[in-house]
Each structure stands twice: as structure tokens, then as C-alpha cells.
Amino acid sequence: MSLRFCQFHTEGIAQLSYLMGDTKTRTCVMFDPRPDVGIYIETARELGLAITHIFETHIHADFVSGSRELAARLGNAPRICLSTERATRYGFDHEAIRDGFTLALGETSIVARHTPGHTPEHLSYLLIEKARGVPWAVLSGDCLFADSAGRPDLLGDKTEALTTDLFNSLSRFYLSLDDGVIVYPGHGSGSPCGASIGSRLTSTIGYERRFNPFLQCKRLEEFRAFVLGNLPPVPDYYPRMKRLNQAGPEIVAELEVAGMSPGEFRREVEREDALLIDTRSMLSFGGGHIPGVLNIGARPLLSVWAGWLLPPDKPLLLVLEDDNELRRVLSLFVRTGYSRFSGYLAGGMAAWMDAGYQMRRLPQLAVEEIRSGRTARTILDVRTEREWASGHIPGAVNIPLPQLRSRSGSMIPRGPVAAYCGSGYRASLAASILLQEGFQEVYNIPGSFNAWKSSQYPVETEAETVAAPQL
């Protein structure tokens, strides 16, 4: 007889979900599942456990909740447990729970505690050994992160009230816990749900008490100024995700997307009823692509950039690096609410090329060529304003990627333009946007700012131009 506890890290959206089970009763529960739920079903099966309950910490803004999907795949046997604190309502069947709700799982009790701040209804879950009566861990959702805390500004006019709630949840609940209590947060580093989240995927109350700046503020006024002054930009798809998760995400089951011959695919492209997305790597895309396509490479970050840049109401046409990648690519889209697909190009760009159809190249420029300055061109930095402020290529123009389509016409001359980011991934996406916007001479810089710094070229900050540090 033993407790089983599994953490699942979803890269890209930097989301953390959890499975907790008891081998004596052969039951387990899930916390905050993502929508591609097969990994949870397989894990429970491997452990010989049955999923009986699915708990959500709050209404998520950054990804599609997998609770309905998981319950449906398991014949609606697990109960979906959702917070109804602050009179929160949902558009689908669930079990309403509130502060103090307790579920026994073997020798452990799961106790819900209302911890508003990131959202009004937010619950954290204490894990308590029955024999000792004290918590050994807390699933903190989006209230407390490693080195950070949840942002309180995602509901507009409720920001002031939620900031006060967050201060109280952290100071009255979290700081009241013993130092040894393990913290299992809802996100890791890279999520915009909190400012500067640390790289640790777990922590302890004692460690956070000592080092987390959000727990150092003793007065509400000090806390408010610190929290609201350090927020990353709000992705514009967050309100849509919240509405979707509260109303009830659709159940997509196993998506089946048809492959299309090059001729059929070209006819579908020419109809312009669907969005054309090339999910290949930047170098493959640069070597040859279908004119007018948007390049969102099939890395975990695809979920985020699809949410930022794609309208949710149009079907997608896909170009893949390899047809065998289809299932993985679909899961990346589903995480931020994209489940309508017209089809994919069977055989990929090799089949398109063999058919003799039109292709376009995106030239790639090494940082050495940018540094030489032999050819006059606009150097476009599509990183965030915070990344830009910490250091950039001298003479570059900064337009964060989500703003590029709306600002490119007024800020970028119609001559040659070369795009860079941190590694080249966002830059290739940006270059494909510029081509869609009518720019004729566009380049991508693979390696981008990472390669620039590795070459020890000069870096410009907000104050001055300095030499890059020796590596």
C-alpha cells in the first residue's frame, strides 16, 4: 500500500497538472488536466488505478481545461469538482465544492481552501496525513508559484479587489503553513500567468517565505505597487479561454484530420476559407514554402502563438515536417482551443514540389552578415519589451510579435527587413507575417540574439551600447 503522486509538465504553456493515487483502494484523482488527456489515462492504467475525481483549482485563462474531455473518455465516471466560491457558475455538469471540502484518499485527506486573488473562485488543495492531522503538501494552482504569485489583473475592473484578495491569501493562508510543506504550483517558468516564475517545478513554504519577493511585502500598499508594476503583457486570447472553460470546452475525442493530395490541397488554399499554417522548422520553411502561409513551428510554443495570432473561428490547413507528426501537432493546437481542421498536405512539401506548384523562399542571414553591415536593411527585433530592454542588436527596431501585424506598416520601411528574436523561432513566424503584409524582401536570422551574444558582438541596452560579456 502506498501513495502515488505524479507531476505532468506541459511545455510551451508551462502548465503543471497532477495525479495522486492510493494503491490500496486502487483509486486516484487528477488536478488541472490539459485537454490532450491520453497521458493521464495511460499513467493511471500503468499504475493500476481508477480515476474517480477531477479537481480544478480555478477557471483557467491560458489553456483549455481537460476536465470534460477526461471525464468523457472514461465514460463520465469521474466527478468533475469545481469551486463555486463567490457564486461562480458553469455551463456544464459538475460537483460544486467550497472551502473546507474534504476527500479521503487512502491515508491522505485532500482539503480545499479558498485562496482568491488570481481569480475570485480559486481553490488550493492541502494534502494532509490523517494520522498526523497536519499538511505535508499544498497544490497551489495559480496562487503561489516558485519565486512568484498569480497575476490579479485578468478580470479587468476586478483588479483592485483581486489584488487585495491575493495579498490576504498569501499572507493569511500560505504564510501560516509550516516551512516544510511542499508547494506544487500550477505553472512553471515561462507562463504569463505570473511575473518571473522560477525554474523550480516544486518548492517549499520555507524556501518561498525566505526568497519569494511576493511574500516579502508586509503592507497591502507595498504589495499592490510591486505586483501591478511587474506584470507581463496579457495574451489577448486569455479572455476567450476563460469564457470557454466556464461554459464548457467541447469534447474532441480522437481528432481525425484528412490528408489531401497536392492538387486537392491547392484548391483548398485557393478557396481561402481556411488558414494555411506551416508547422515545419525555420530552416525547412526558409528553403521553400507555399506563398501566403504562416510559419508556426511544431514546438510546444505553438500552443501559445496559435492563441496569440490565429482567430478561433476559421478551420486550419496544415503543412507538416512529417505526416507522422500529425497527432502531436494537433494536440498542440487543441491546448489553446483549435480543433477545426480542413486537412493536411499529404506527403508534405516534397509532394507539393513534385507536383510543380509555386513555392517561395525565405532567405536566412547569419549574424556575421548582419554585423558586417554590408547591406542596408531594417533589423527588426520581435521579442518582448522586457527582453529588448535587457539588451538588443544596435540600431534595431523593436515591435513585439503580437503587435507586428498592426504596427509593421507604420514602423518598418518598405525596403529589406531582417527579423530576429531569441533563437529564430519567433523571427521566422514574424517573417511570414511580413510576407503576408506585402513586404517583398524579408530575411530571417537563425540563432538570432543567442547567436549574436555567442559571437561576442556589441549589445545595446536602454542606456548605452556595451560590449557583450566574454563567454
Q: Are strands 135-141 and 123-129 parallel, antiparallel or unpaired?
A: antiparallel
Residue given cell 517549499 in the structure block: 204
pLDDT tens digits for range 226-238: 999 989 889 999 9
pLDDT at 466 over 70: no
**Where are the CATH 3.60.15.10 domain residues in the chain?**
3-247
> What does the pLDDT average to over 64-80?
97
pLDDT tens digits for range 90-99: 999 999 999 9
How much is the mean pLDDT over the chain?
Answer: 95
pLDDT tens digits for range 422-463: 999 999 999 999 999 999 999 999 999 999 999 999 999 975
Q: Read off the pLDDT band of 465 (50, 70, 90).
A: very low
What CATH superfamily is the domain 3-247?
Ribonuclease Z/Hydroxyacylglutathione hydrolase-like (3.60.15.10)
* Distance between CA atoms of residues 56 and 174, nearest Å: 19
CATH code given to domain 259-354: 3.40.250.10
Give the DSSP per-residue string, 302-342.
HHHHHHHHS-TTS-EEEE-SSGGGHHHHHHHHHTTT---EE
* Distance between CA atoms of residues 44 and 176, nearest Å: 34
**pLDDT attached to residue 396:** 97
Does CATH place domain 367-466 in 3.40.50.300?
no
* Distance between CA atoms of residues 84 and 78, nearest Å: 18
pLDDT at 161 over 50: yes
> Vertex 220, ends 217 and 226: CA angle to 5°?
55
At 41 the three-state DSSP class reads helix
**Where are the CATH 3.40.250.10 domain residues in the chain?**
259-354, 367-466
Catalytic residue among 81, 143, 193, 421: 421
| Whether this model's pTM surpasses 0.85 | yes
Q: Read off the pLDDT band of 36 (50, 70, 90).
A: very high
pLDDT at 467 over 80: no
Q: Read off the pLDDT band of 1 (50, 70, 90).
A: low
Number of other residues whose CB lies within 10 A of the CB of residue 158 = 14
Q: Read off the pLDDT band of 239 (50, 70, 90).
A: very high
Q: How many CA atoms lie less than 13 Å away from 270 in the CB half-sphere?
A: 8
Known catalytic residue: 143? no
With beta carbons less than 8 A apart as the criterion, state whether 388 and 381 touch: yes
Q: Read off the pLDDT band of 464 (50, 70, 90).
A: very low
